[in-house]
Amino acid sequence: MEVKPGQVATYKHIISNTNKSMYIEQGTGSPILQVSPKQKDDTKKIFEAFKAAEKDNHFKAYLKSEVHTVKPYWHYSNCRRIMPIFLVSEEGYVFEGY
């Protein structure tokens, strides 16, 4: 799959994360972005913000605990290396920050 210039899934404008105060992300410049909230209590709030922004920003948001029902072949829900929230860009897109 080829990524063409301008096909960037945006996420940084959705939640203010100055100095990484709300969450840490991993995977900028790739089609999968993982998000780990700084405070566990913020997981639902952060996830819901990303979920509400999916359509206009070219990605889908998933909770680690729910992914096995949507993508069972990924085997992510039991892996300790997967962060609580992850975003998957639409085909041909990568996340900003590369």
Paired with 63 in beta bridges are: 85
Return the SS3 of 9.
strand
What is the reported pTM? 0.86
Paired tokens of 54: 């999916």
* Residue 14, domain member (yes or no): yes
Q: What is the pLDDT along the chain (98 residues), one digit of tens a residue?
A: 676 677 899 999 999 888 889 999 999 989 999 999 999 999 999 999 999 999 899 999 999 988 877 777 877 767 788 899 989 999 999 998 86
Please report whether residue 1 resides in a domain. Answer: no
CATH number at residue 85: 3.30.1360.180
* Domain extent for 82: 8-95
Tally the domains of the chain.
1
**Two tokens at 47?**
């996830």
Whether 3 is in a domain gets the answer no
DSSP states of 17-73: -GGGSSEEEE-TTSSEEEEEESSGGGHHHHHHHHHHTHHHHTEEEEETTTHHHH-GG
CA–CA dist 18, 77 (Å, integer): 29
Backbone dihedral region of 38: left (phi > 0), alpha (psi from -120 to 50 degrees) or beta?
Answer: alpha
